[in-house]
């Protein structure tokens, strides 16, 4: 079966930025991660494809080679010019040229086996918190599926801790083997040790020599006061354990903040919509409102308040990250027109309206508007 285009695998355009690639990769990798799809072979295959695609495209040089030559740039043992070049062992394009021309140029760079052991993968975890928690800061407990160092072998991958690994007899520790292919003397990853340069003697029965084990850890993460929705907190070294003593990856915690039924946040300011009856707005009203910090605040609504009028409560807003400063809270008034009137209410309002008719002086905008309408019709007749 023909291999899918790496860009198509990640669902991005060919001109996608590094950031877009990363986003697309992370999203899909989360979705198809084997930990989330235990026993699902399709997800596992997809996950491998995603990793393969991203591994190439995240590297500018490899991406350029892929854009130019397609999959042929990376195929092992395929026919043609690019045969046998293997990126998976960690060599960049520079290594390719060394591999191609090093023998003609009398040596050149030789990649040793050292540093080949794979560092642990980064892990991404999402946490959702309340707006009030974002205000005050909180601690969240995460259950992180992760690869940890195998207890049984302390990460050596061997039953025999004193002498865990032997230098690979096939490649003599180089991690690569050479073969003549046509005109070129080419190198490829050593099939005996997978490029590690060493072979585990007496592999650990628990981890089968990997040096890591799948585990779920509970981890507490401190979320600082004033955190924004979408903030990413990096916990260095809390990702997956690396194979055979390699460094662990990092854990990225993505913070999402839930919608609050009363407060809307905009940066360090908080907005609150307060519905008022028409009469409250007309006569003035003292209202007590809750604040994000759990206290209450009194707001004096003056007589004649209109829908959309805004009242500011200083320093009652959101805390600003890494500072003692607080934003403001804004009370936004929405005047409600009464509905389903009782007979008495209707009488009172009719009386009110009759009074308003004769009370032109000092009356609001509507008087001016109806006056203009009257002029319009009269002017139209003349």
Residue from 119, 136, 148, 206 binding Zn ion (CB under 5 A): 206
Out of 4, 17, 88, 170, name the contact with Zn ion by CB under 5 A: 170
3-state SS class at 7: helix
Q: Which of residues 89 and 144 has its CB atom nearest to Zn ion in the complex?
A: 89
Closest approach, Cβ 244 to Zn ion, in A, equals: 10
CA atoms within 13 A on the CB side of 34: 12
What does the DSSP assignment read for 18-75? HHHHHHHHHHHHHHH-TTTSTT-HHHHHHHHHHHHHHHHHTSHHHHHHHHHHGGGGT-
Shortest Cβ 132–Zn ion spacing (Å):
45
* Whole-number Cα distances in Å, 126 to 20, 99, 129: 19, 43, 10
Q: How many CB atoms lie within 10 A of CB 223?
A: 20
Size of the site for Zn ion (CB under 5 A): 12
Window 185 to 204, contacts with Zn ion (CB under 5 A): 190, 192-193, 204
Strand partners, 300: 286
List binders of Zn ion among 96-155 (CB under 5 A). Answer: 150, 152-153
C-beta closer to Zn ion: residue 159 or 229? 159
Q: Which stretch binds Zn ion (CB under 5 A): 161-169, 252-260, 328-336, 344-352?
A: 161-169
Q: What is the number of alpha carbons within 13 Å of residue 176 lying toward its C-beta?
A: 24
Q: Specify the pairing of strand 251-257 against strand 263-266.
A: unpaired
Angle between helices 60-69 and 93-101 (to 10 degrees): 70
SS3 state at 287: strand
Q: CB under 5 A: which stretch of 101-109, 133-141, 165-173, 347-355 binds Zn ion?
A: 165-173
Window contacting Zn ion (CB under 5 A); options: 49-57, 135-143, 163-171, 318-326: 163-171
**Residue 157 C-beta: closest distance to Zn ion, Å:** 6
Query: Given its phi and psi angles, is residue 137 left (phi above 0), alpha (psi -120 to 50 degrees) or beta?
Result: left
- By beta-carbon proximity to Zn ion, the closer residue of 75 and 159 is 159
Q: How far is CA 244 from the centre of its chain?
A: 29
CB of 191 to Zn ion, least distance (A): 8
Select from 171, 200, 272, 329 the one that contacts Zn ion (CB under 5 A). Answer: 171
Tokens 């209707």 found at: 346
* Residue 168 lies near Zn ion (rule: CB under 5 A): yes
Output the smallest distance, CB 121 to Zn ion, in A: 18
Q: Residue 272 burial by CB count (10 A; 0-12/13-18/19+): exposed, middle or buried?
A: buried
Least distance from C-beta 176 to Zn ion, angstroms?
8
Span of 31-39, 162-170, 225-233, 283-291 interacting with Zn ion by CB under 5 A:
162-170
- Cβ 190 to Zn ion shortest distance, Å: 3
Question: What is the smallest separation between the CB atom of 151 and Zn ion, expressed in angstroms?
Answer: 8
Which lies closer to Zn ion via its Cβ, residue 157 or residue 249? 157
Nearer to Zn ion, 164 or 281 (CB): 164
Of 175 and 317, nearer to Zn ion (C-beta) is: 175
Q: Is 208 in the site for Zn ion (CB under 5 A)?
A: no
- Considering beta carbons, is residue 207 or 272 the nearer one to Zn ion? 207
The alpha carbon of 115 is separated from its chain's Cα centroid by a whole number of angstroms, namely 29
Within 8 A by CB and 6+ apart from 118, the residues are: 242, 243, 246
Interface mask toward Zn ion for 246-285; x: CB under 5 A: ----------------------------------------
Q: In the complex with Zn ion, which residue's Cβ is closer, 247 or 364?
A: 247
Q: Which is nearer to Zn ion, 203 or 226 (CB)?
A: 203
Min separation Cβ 159 and Zn ion, Å: 8
Rounded-to-integer distance, Cα 25 and Cα 361, Å: 68
Closer residue to Zn ion in complex, CB, 225/243:
243
Buried b (16+ CB within 10 A) or exposed e, 113-145: beebbbbbbebbbeeebebebbbeebebebebe
207, 221, 227, 272: which one binds Zn ion (CB under 5 A): 207
Query: Which residues, 6 or more positions from 306, have their beta carbon under 8 angstroms from its beta carbon?
Result: 281, 333, 335
The contact set with Zn ion (CB under 5 A) reads 150, 152-153, 168, 170-171, 190, 192-193, 204, 206-207
């Amino acid at each position: 079966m023909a291999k899918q285009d790496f860009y198509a695998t990640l669902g991005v355009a060919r001109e996608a930025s590094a950031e877009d690639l990363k986003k697309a990769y992370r999203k899909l990798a989360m979705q198809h991660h084997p930990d989330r799809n235990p026993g699902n072979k399709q997800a596992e295959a997809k996950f491998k494809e995603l990793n393969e695609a991203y591994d190439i495209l995240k590297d500018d040089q490899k991406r350029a080679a892929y854009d130019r030559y397609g999959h042929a740039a990376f195929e092992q043992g395929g026919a043609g010019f690019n045969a046998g070049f293997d990126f998976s062992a960690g060599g960049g394009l520079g290594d390719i040229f060394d591999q191609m021309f090093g023998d003609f140029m009398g040596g050149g760079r030789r990649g040793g086996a050292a540093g080949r052991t794979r560092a642990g993968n980064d892990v991404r975890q999402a946490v959702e918190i309340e707006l009030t928690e974002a205000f005050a800061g909180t601690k969240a407990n995460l259950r992180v599926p992760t690869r940890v160092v195998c207890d049984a072998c302390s990460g050596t991958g061997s039953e025999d801790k004193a002498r865990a690994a032997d230098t690979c007899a096939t490649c003599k520790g180089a991690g690569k083997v050479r073969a003549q292919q046509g005109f070129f003397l080419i190198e490829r990853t050593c099939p005996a040790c997978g490029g590690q340069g060493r072979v585990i003697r007496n592999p650990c029965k628990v981890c089968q020599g990997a040096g890591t084990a799948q585990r779920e850890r509970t981890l507490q993460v401190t979320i600082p006061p004033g955190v924004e929705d979408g903030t990413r907190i990096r916990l260095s070294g809390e990702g997956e354990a690396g194979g055979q003593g390699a460094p662990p990856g990092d854990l990225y915690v993505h913070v999402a903040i839930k919608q609050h039924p009363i407060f809307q946040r905009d940066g360090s300011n908080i907005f609150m919509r307060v519905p008022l009856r028409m009469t409250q707005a007309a006569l003035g009203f003292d209202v007590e409102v809750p604040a994000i910090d759990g206290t209450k605040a009194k707001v004096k609504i003056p007589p004649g308040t209109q829908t959309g009028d805004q009242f500011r409560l200083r320093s009652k807003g959101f805390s600003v990250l890494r500072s003692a400063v607080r934003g403001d809270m804004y009370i936004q008034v929405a005047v409600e027109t009464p509905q389903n009137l009782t007979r008495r209410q209707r009488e009172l309002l009719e009386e009110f309206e009759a009074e308003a008719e004769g009370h032109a002086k000092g009356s609001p905008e509507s008087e001016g508007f109806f006056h203009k309408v009257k002029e319009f019709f009269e002017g139209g007749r003349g």
